[in-house]
Amino acid sequence: MARGTIRYWAAAKAAAGTAEEPYEAETLAEALDTARTHHPGELTTVLRRCSFLVDGAPVGTRGHETVRLAEGGTVEVLPPFAGG
């Protein structure tokens, strides 16, 4: 099981009530499932609209269950941003 940090930005930060927290998971899907369990309600809705970076690399359309997490890694949770 890999351990790292999940960082929430903008609306995800507001919904989670924290800027970051540790994760312990093998895949992005597992880390997000744990986040949903710890922060039920608004965060679940916000995560549906988010994009994700894992160790600086965009996840894009890859299935979250296929995205492996590294020991000491970082998951960035990025809601859609307004503006130009």
Q: What is the pLDDT of residues 19-76, one digit of tens each?
A: 999 999 999 999 999 999 999 999 999 999 999 999 999 999 999 999 999 999 999 9
Q: Tell me the whole-structure pTM to 2 decimals.
A: 0.93
Q: Which two tokens stand for residue 52?
A: 């994700």
Q: Report pLDDT for 27.
A: 98
Q: Report pLDDT for 35.
A: 96
Q: What angle do CA 66, 75, 28 make, to 5 degrees?
A: 25
Q: How confident is the model at residue 81 (pLDDT cuts 50, 70, 90)?
A: confident
Residue 47, classed as helix, strand or coil, is helix
CB atoms within 10 A of CB 19: 10
